[in-house]
Amino acid sequence: MRIATFLYQGGIHVGLVDAKAETVTPLALGAERAGRGALSLIESGDWSNVARMPALRLADVSLMAPIPRPRRNIFCVGRNYHAHAKELLSSVFKDNSKDVASWPIVFNKVPECVVGPTADVHLPVGISEQIDYESELAVVIGVGGRNITRAEAMQHVFGYTIINDVTARDVQMRHQQWDLGKSFDTFCPMGPWIVTADEMDGNHTRVRGWVNQELRQDARTEDFIFDIPTLIETCSRGITLYPGDIIATGSPAGVGMGMNPPTYLKAGDVVRVEIDGIGVIENRFV
Ligand code: MG
């Protein structure tokens, strides 16, 4: 299933998108539950009995992030494709390049930076001159747990969505910890919906990113340094994961910082991220 959160006639709704992405069937959740988006379904476990309302044309609704306000910070993985590790070896990954194979880098984005799949991203004028994109597969946790093993990990995956891990490189670099440079308002476009884990395999898909229709990123998740079970095992070591938690799996090579010379986003640029089996998000930078 593909679960979308959307605005229609002034209200927030959660619905199921058909296979051709032409219609969305709203679920009768009531305003309070629907306001939390897909999170309300993920937390409730069994929602098969929720009544369905007449289908709407997808073109007539306004998609929001499937989880418009995550319950807490988004877990994000740095350096998870071999080619990306290489392209930023002399900058972002300079201090930990020796240790590539042992442990993932994990940082956070604050939940309030999430915006929808076609929302504008606001350049933080006067604060950063180096805004960059990162096209990423995001794993949405279903059943929570602590100390989840690799062998059990995939049973904890509810589904997948797309994020753009928008990054202010200068801010990321100067604070040692990355959170500030990753968490500016609007810096986490997400969507267009969540595809449930029974419909796709995040360990075998293709991630692509374009800037103004120029293909910059193109990778397969088979190239992950740390696969999804390893990421879930790592993030749940001694820390309870909850339904609806999100783990962004890292960026392929081809970010602006890795270009020669480095090339950052400017007002008017449009970044499109597409993942096979999910769909597309496309956001203008203003
Ligand atoms: Mg990233």
pLDDT tens for 219-233 read 999 999 999 999 999
Asked if residue 100 has pLDDT above 70, the reply is: no
Question: What distance in angstroms lies between residue 134's CA and the mean position of ligand 1's atoms?
Answer: 5
Question: What distance in angstroms lies between residue 150's CA and the mean position of ligand 1's atoms?
Answer: 22
pLDDT tens for 173-201 read 999 899 999 999 999 999 999 999 999 99
DSSP state letters, 162-223: EEE--EEHHHHHHTSSSHHHH-STT-EEEEEEEEETTT--TTS-EEEEEETTEEEEEEEGGG
Within 13 Å and on the Cβ side, how many CA atoms surround 61? 28
Q: Which residues pair with 160 in a beta bridge?
A: 139, 195
- Rounded Cα distance, 3 and 221, in Å: 22
pLDDT tens for 8-55 read 999 999 999 999 999 999 999 999 999 999 999 999 988 888 999 999
Residues having C-beta closer than 5 Å to ion ligand 1: 134, 165, 251
pLDDT of residue 97: 55
pLDDT of residue 93: 75
pLDDT of residue 91: 76
pTM: 0.96
Q: What pLDDT band is residue 98 in, cutting at 50, 70 and 90?
A: low
Asked if residue 99 has pLDDT above 70, the reply is: no
Read off the pLDDT of each residue in 127-139 and give the average, rounded to a whole number.
97
Q: Are 5 and 63 in contact (CB under 8 A)?
A: yes
**Mean pLDDT across the chain:** 95
pLDDT of residue 171: 93
Q: What pLDDT band is residue 95 in, cutting at 50, 70 and 90?
A: low
Question: What distance in angstroms lies between residue 18's CA and the mean position of ligand 1's atoms?
Answer: 30
DSSP 121: B
Read off the pLDDT of each residue in 121-148 and give the average, rounded to a whole number.
97
> What string of H, E and C letters represents the secondary structure of 47-96?
CCCCCECCCEEHHHCEECCCCCCCCCCEEEEECCEHHHHHHCCCCCCHHH
Retrieve residue 239's tokens.
């820390």
Question: What distance in angstroms lies between residue 165's CA and the mean position of ligand 1's atoms?
Answer: 5
The dotted CATH code for 74-284 is 3.90.850.10
Q: Are 257 and 91 in contact (CB under 8 A)?
A: yes
- Rounded Cα distance, 237 and 254, in Å: 31
| H or E element in which residue 34 lies | helix 31-34
C-alpha pair distances (Å), 222 with each of 19, 136, 155, 231: 25, 14, 19, 14
Read off the pLDDT of each residue in 262-269 and give the average, rounded to a whole number.
98
pLDDT tens for 72-92 read 999 999 989 988 888 877 777
Question: What distance in angstroms lies between residue 162's CA and the mean position of ligand 1's atoms?
Answer: 12
Q: Phi first, then psi: what are they for 41, rounded to 5°?
A: -75, -45
**So where are the chain's domains?**
2-63, 74-284
Choice between 99 and 263, residue whose per-residue pLDDT is larger = 263
Question: What distance in angstroms lies between residue 13's CA and the mean position of ligand 1's atoms?
Answer: 29
pLDDT of residue 176: 86
